[in-house]
Amino acid sequence: MTYIFAEAVGGIEIPYTAITIIFIILATAVGVFIRKRSRDKCLRDFERNRVTLEDKSGKMIWGTLRVENTGLEFIYPEKYKDRQGHEEASYLLYKYEYPEIQAVIRFHDELSEPHKKEREKELKRTYHPGPWRRSKRKLVNVFRTIRDSVVEIINLLISQAKKATPAGKVLTSQDKYVSQMKQELVGAAGTSFEPLLERYIGHTVVLEMVKADKVLEYCGVLKEYTAEFVEIMDVDYAVKDDQPPRKADLVVPRKHGLVRHLAE
């Protein structure tokens, strides 16, 4: 068998094929670990609840929410027969379709009694949090800040290592797998620390939402935010203008949902 050897490291020659296999294993392991832990926190708060998906075209989907790192599943209360005559039991929304989301809505009057009680407890814990919850969140934010810096540190270390010999030649030859690991880490940093929003967590705020050609305002309690979404509780929300508003919790993409004012 013919081997292509890298330069000697510490007097030991390591075949490039072995190095490639090591990088493939590392990239795969990092990817699997991160993907299993990278479900969006705002969306995850609505998991197993009856919710309504409203997209930017006005399409509405109802169902019990299941959240995965690759997308969302809305499980219908009962099977639905479409115009072509086949039965449908759920609706899948893939992660690349998230830009089409207008809002994920959790109407209070559609929740089961256990979920209503669970939601009320969560609202009480969220609104004006006590010293313990504030301290816990500050600690979590320290780790978020460290995590957000990891990619920059890795990029710097890899850039420096590429200038060295023989490690630089090895890293350069494995650029594909090094890039894959960096992309996985970038994807994992989904809950970026936002100082402007952080001080309003647990307070009543005004959410400004761009909907069709209108800018609407909704008043509620800021529960959470991530890089992609913001979560507001206890909002008066109507899907259509001719419908009366109902109490609801919202998860809205930050692209068209902005916390604009403190409201207390």
Residue 19 in domain: no
Residue 90: CB atoms within 10 Å: 14
Q: What is the pLDDT of residue 257?
A: 94
Residue 187 in domain: yes
Q: What is the pLDDT of residue 62?
A: 94
Residue 135 in domain: yes
The pLDDT of residue 243 is above 70:
yes
Q: Of 63, 58, 96, which Cα lies nearest the Cα of 79? A: 63
Per cent of the chain over pLDDT 90 is 49
Residue 211 in domain: no
Residue 117 in domain: no
User: Which domain does 180 fall in, by range?
Assistant: 131-192
Measure the CA–CA gap between 48 and 261, rounded to whole angstroms. 31
**pLDDT tens, residue by residue, 145-169:** 676 666 566 666 656 555 654 555 5
pLDDT tier, 1 (very low <50, low <70, confident <90, very high otherwise): very low
Residue 142 in domain: yes
The pLDDT of residue 182 is above 60:
no
Residue 164 in domain: yes
Structure tokens at 78: 């009962």
pLDDT tier, 222 (very low <50, low <70, confident <90, very high otherwise): very high
Measure the CA–CA gap between 250 and 221, rounded to whole angstroms. 10
Please state the pTM of the whole predicted model.
Answer: 0.74
**235, 248 Cβ separation under 8 angstroms:** yes
For residue 230, the cross-strand partners are 225, 252
How many domains does the structure of the chain reveal? 1
Q: Tell me the CA distances in angstroms from 249 to 57, 82, 112, 215, 234, one per residue in order.
A: 21, 29, 15, 19, 5
The answer for residues whose C-beta is within 8 angstroms of residue 87's C-beta and 6 or more apart is 79, 80, 81
The pLDDT of residue 144 is above 70:
no
Residue 156 in domain: yes
Structure tokens at 186: 């970038």
Q: What is the pLDDT of residue 39?
A: 84
**pLDDT tens, residue by residue, 21-68:** 565 566 556 655 555 557 899 999 999 999 999 999 999 999 999 999
Q: What is the pLDDT of residue 29?
A: 62
**106, 47 Cβ separation under 8 angstroms:** no
Measure the CA–CA gap between 89 and 63, rounded to whole angstroms. 9
